[in-house]
Amino acid sequence: MGYEKRDTGSRARLRPLGGVLAALLVAHSGTRVSAIAIPWFVLVTTGSATQTGLVAFCEMGPYVVVKALAGPLVDRMGPRRISWIADVVSAAAALLIPFLHAEGMLSFGVLLGLVAVIGTVRSPGDLAKDVMIPEAAELSRVPLERATGLQGVFERLAGTVGPAAGGALVGLVGPMVGLGVNAACFVLGSLIIATALPRSMGRPQKEPVEKSEDAHDAQRGYWHSFRQGFAFLRTQPVLLTLYAMLGITNLLDAAYVAVLIPVWARESGYGPAAIGLVLASFSIAATVGSLVAAAVAHRLRRRPVFFIGWLLAGAPRFLILTTDAPLWCMAAVIGIGGLGGGFINPIIGAVTYERIPQEMMGRVQGIGDAVTWAGIPFGGLLAGAAVAGTGLAPALLTAGAVYFLTTNLAGLRPEWREMDRHRGKGRAGRSPDATPAESASSAS
C-alpha cells in the first residue's frame, strides 16, 4: 500500500511535465507527417522543385513572422489558452486540404493559402508549448536539464514516428490521408492541453511594475512588452550568438527536408518510403542521444558536447546523399549524425531557460525563435533554385560545406564560455521591480 501511494504521488507530481511533453509529441508527429505529404504531393503533381520550395515558404514565412510577434500575446493570454486555440485552428485548416482535393476545388493557389494559415496559427501554438516547459519542470520537481533532455526525446520521437508514418502513408494510400492524420494529431494535442494539465498551469504571468508616472499604461502596451524582449536579449551575448548560428543551420535543414531529400528520393528511384527511412533513421538515433543526454548531460561540460554533436549531425547528412552508397549505409551515416544531434537541443533548452525570466519567456523566446527560424522559409526556395540551376549533387555539397563552416567557426567565439555559467541554478528570476537590464545582470 505504501508503494502504491508513493507511485500514485509520483505520477501526480510528473503530470505537468508529462502533459506538455505528450502534447508536443502528438502535435509535432502530425507536423512531420505533413512535412512529407505536402512536398511529395506538389512534386508529383507539378514536377517542379521550385513550386515545392514555394509551398514550404508559404508555411514557414508566416510561421516565422508570427512567432516574432506572438510572444507578448502568449505572455498576456497565457500559453495554455494560446496552445489550445492554435491546435484547433490548425486541425481545421489541415483537414480542408484533403476535403477540397476530393471535391476538385484544390488549386495551387488555394493550397498555398491553406498552408499559410497552418503556418500562421501553428507558430504561437509551438511557442506556447515550449514556454510551458520550465514551469512544468518546476511543478514536477524535475531538474531543468533533465526536462529539456526529455523534451528533446519527445521531439525526436515525433521526428521518428512522423516521418516513418508519413512515408508509409504517402507511399501506400497517398498524401491526402497523411494530412488527415495531421489534423487528427492537432485535435488530440488540443485535448491534452485542455484536459490533462493542472488548472493552475499555463496562466498569464504578471508583468513587472516599473517606477514611472505612466507605468500602468506602459506595462499594458504590446509594443512596450515587445521592446522589453529586445532589451533583454541585447544583454545576453551567448543567446545572440546561439540564435545567429541556429538561423543558418535551420535554413540548411529546411532546404534538406523540404526539397533536397524529396528530389534525391525521386532521382534515385527510392520513392517516398526512402524519405521516411532517412528522416526516421536520424530521429531514432537522436532519440537515443536525447535519452542519454537526459540521464547524464547535467554531469558533462556543455561546450565540447555541443560542438561534437554539431560535427556529427551537420555536414555528413548532406554529403552522403551525393554518393552511390547503398541505402542502408546512408541510413547508418545519417543515424550517427542523429546520435550526436540528440545532445544539442537539451543543451540549447537549458541555456535558454536558465537566462530568461519566466514572466518574459514568451516575448524573449518568441523573438529568439523568430531569429533562428528566419531562414527556414527561404531554405526550400533556395534549394529549389539551386537544384534547378546546378543539379542535386552541387546543391548538397554546397549546403554541407556551409553547415560545416557555420558550426565550427561559431565555436571559436568567446561567448560560448558562458554556457556552463548558470548550471544548477534553475530558471532565471527577477525581483518584481527589476528592469530588463537589471534582470539580465543578475542572471549573468
Render pLDDT for 294-326 as a digit per residue (tens, 0 to 9). Answer: 777 667 778 888 888 999 998 999 999 999 889
Cβ-based neighbours of 413, under 8 Å, separated by 6 or more? 241
**Secondary structure (3-state) at 428:** strand
Domain boundaries, the chain: 9-198+220-443
What is the identity of the amino acid at 204? P
pLDDT recorded at residue 249: 93
- CATH 1.20.1250.20 applies to domain 9-198+220-443: yes
DSSP 142: -
d(CA 426, CA 432): 18
Show contacts of 317-320: CB within 8 Å, 24+ apart. 317/256, 317/282, 317/400, 318/252, 318/256, 318/260, 318/396, 318/397, 318/399, 318/400, 318/403, 319/396, 319/397, 319/400
Read off the pTM.
Answer: 0.65
| Percent residues over pLDDT 90 in the chain | 16
pLDDT recorded at residue 218: 42
d(CA 98, CA 105): 10
d(CA 252, CA 172): 29
Phi/psi of residue 357, nearest 5 degrees: -60, 145
Average pLDDT, the chain: 80
- The mean per-residue pLDDT over the stretch 228-250 comes to 87
d(CA 112, CA 109): 5
Least confident of 181-185, 304-308, 353-357: 353-357
pLDDT recorded at residue 6: 46
Instruction: Specify the higher pLDDT residue, 383 or 15.
Output: 383
- Read off the pLDDT of residues 377-429 as tens digits, 9 standing for 90 and up: 788 889 988 998 999 999 999 999 999 999 887 777 777 777 765 554 545 54
- The mean per-residue pLDDT over the stretch 231-245 comes to 87
Whether the per-residue pLDDT at 151 is higher than 90: the answer is: no
What is the identity of the amino acid at 375? G
Please give the grid coordinates belonging to residue 92: 481545421
Q: How far apart are the first and last CA of the chain?
A: 47
CA 393 to centroid of chain Cα atoms: 27
d(CA 184, CA 169): 14
pLDDT recorded at residue 377: 77
Cβ-based neighbours of 235, under 8 Å, separated by 6 or more? 436, 437, 440, 441, 444
- Read off the pLDDT of residues 258-283 as tens digits, 9 standing for 90 and up: 889 989 988 888 887 788 788 888 87
From residue 12, give the alpha-carbon distance in Å to each of 135, 140, 196, 275: 15, 8, 11, 39
Please give the grid coordinates belonging to residue 64: 516565422
From residue 53, give the alpha-carbon distance in Å to each of 167, 274, 330, 379: 19, 19, 24, 8
pLDDT recorded at residue 269: 82
pLDDT recorded at residue 12: 63
From residue 85, give the alpha-carbon distance in Å to each of 121, 133, 189, 191: 9, 18, 11, 11
d(CA 67, CA 371): 9
Whether the per-residue pLDDT at 433 is higher than 70: the answer is: no
- The mean per-residue pLDDT over the stretch 122-148 comes to 84
